[in-house]
Structure 1
Amino acid sequence: MASSSSRKYETRKRVPDPQNAALLVIDMQNHFSSMAKPILNEAITTIDLCRRASIPVFFSRQNHKSQNDHGMLEEWWNGDLILDGTTDSEIIPEIHRHVIGPDEIVEKNTYSAFQNTRLQEKLEKIGVKEVIVIGVMTNLCCETTARDAFIKGYRVFFSTDATATVNEELHEATLMNLAYGFAYLVDCDTLRRGLSTTLSTC
């Protein structure tokens, strides 16, 4: 949830347009379960709200298939990598049951869900111009994906209550940075009200 620190940078207000938006659910995997579990209800609520508004949903999954696809991550995290085929690499069951088909899953091997993936191609194919970002970790994969989306020309909406990381300080730092220069901040309540209003006027 956004605090007073991030709210002072939240000078722009907007809600997603269901006709142009997609939801990106970032790395809700067993490896990150300690961070993902506390926001499960909010993440599932956001997914359900988007499904009801006919907003397409994509789920990213961080994993490494070889010794040559991890770039700086191995050095930075002292070899603590998520290897393909392990339990850690799997999407947590409570989220996985919301995946409709394999086309919704984006396999990635770095922080951004756009880097070395077909995500942008998939979004362009269905005419997406806006993305909503939820998941973990707020300050790493979620933030990098949000910044990357902004640079690529997407309007970005970033969840304050359906994202999480190791502590509140890092979470708030991301919210402040994104509100200042990259993304509209949203939460479950604003999405519920905003999507309902948008759909009722269509």
Structure 2
Amino acid sequence: MKEDYLTEEVIAEMRSRYFRERKWRKIEPFRKSAVLAIDLQKYFLSPESRAFLPSVPRFVPRLVKFYSRVRELNVPIIFTRHYHAGGTMARWWGGDMPKDDLLNDLLDEFKPFAETVIEKSTYDAFYGTELEGMLGKLGVETVVVTGVMTHLCCETTAREAFVRGFNVVFPVDGTLTQNRLFHEATLRNLSHGFAVTPLLSEVLEWLLSG
């Protein structure tokens, strides 16, 4: 089920297939933005973890570069950190993700950008957290969703952001999951009804032009 899929060729193909220019033009004027950095934890990004995602070596440098530029532009980056104990998540996945597990710490490469971290216990970064209020206080109009995993926490959070009235940007190369099939399914669904799907580089161009 797992594969190293996030190549430049795949990224270009998915951008060509799912990016909607007319939808992007509708969102472009809403420049008061924040970047959501979903669950960039060692649990998913370190080779010693059973949940390691094979495309991590391609993905992490790309995202670090993006966050570095975003910070220079003074665009807020809000990180989430996931853990759960019991309940539906534990039943579904067959166990807990303990809060104090060292693998649930953020990956070291991302810590310099993690001035704001919200803890969550399910796929939706809005559920039971202060995220919506925080975005409201910042006057945010558009959220840029990045992180892991594409088809679970990232997709759920993108849908919930849309429902709450935010414009949603979901970069093709800004999230990661286990395989191309899961990644592409999310892009197909979100690009139809919830989000625009440009490249990270195009998001930076947009932020720079504001």
TM-score normalized with structure 1 length: 0.86
Write out the 4+ residue segments of structure 1 that deviate beyond 6 Å after TM superposition: none
Question: Unpaired segments of 5 or more residues in structure 2?
Answer: 1-9, 46-51
Shift of 1:2: 4.2
Shift of 1:49: 2.3
In structure 2, relative to structure 1, the CA distance for the partners of 1:47 and 1:5 (3 Å cut) is closer
Question: Unpaired segments of 5 or more residues in structure 1?
Answer: none
2:83 alignment counterpart: 63
* Separation in structure 2 between the aligned mates of residue 97 and residue 161 of structure 1, nearest angstrom: 21
In structure 2, relative to structure 1, the CA distance for the partners of 1:172 and 1:27 (3 Å cut) is same
Counterpart residue identity of residue 92, structure 2: W
* Separation in structure 2 between the aligned mates of residue 9 and residue 168 of structure 1, nearest angstrom: 14
Deviations 1:8-38 (A, max 9, x none): 4432224666851100000000110132443
1:162 alignment counterpart: 174
Counterpart residue identity of residue 26, structure 1: I
Deviations 1:96-153 (A, max 9, x none): 12223xxx10000000110010011111111111100000000000000000000000
Paired residue for 1:175, among 178, 187, 201? Answer: 187
Residues 50-89 of structure 1 aligned to structure 2 (within 5 Å):
50-64=70-84, 67=85, 70-79=86-95, 81-89=96-104
Secondary structure in structure 2 of the residue aligned to 1:134: strand
Secondary structure in structure 1 of the residue aligned to 2:136: helix
Give the structure, 1 or 2, with the largest relative contact order (CA under 8 Å, sep 6 or more). Answer: 1
Aligned partners of 1:158 and 1:185 also within 8 Å: yes
Shift of 1:194: 1.9
Aligned partners of 1:146 and 1:156 also within 8 Å: yes
Secondary structure in structure 2 of the residue aligned to 1:111: coil
More strand, by proportion:
1
Counterpart residue identity of residue 95, structure 1: F
Matched residue pairs, number? Answer: 190
Aligned partners of 2:14 and 2:172 also within 8 Å: no
TM-score normalized with structure 2 length: 0.83
CA RMSD of aligned residues (A): 2.0
* Separation in structure 1 between the aligned mates of residue 87 and residue 209 of structure 2, nearest angstrom: 44
Shift of 1:74: 1.0
More deviation, 165-174/10-19: 10-19
1:152 alignment counterpart: 164
Counterpart residue identity of residue 76, structure 1: W
* Separation in structure 2 between the aligned mates of residue 61 and residue 91 of structure 1, nearest angstrom: 7
2:111 alignment counterpart: 96
More deviation, 138-147/44-53: 44-53
% of aligned pairs identical? 34
2:19 alignment counterpart: 10
Are positions 1:131 and 2:143 aligned together?
yes
* Separation in structure 2 between the aligned mates of residue 178 and residue 88 of structure 1, nearest angstrom: 30
Aligned partners of 1:19 and 1:55 also within 8 Å: no
1:195 alignment counterpart: 207
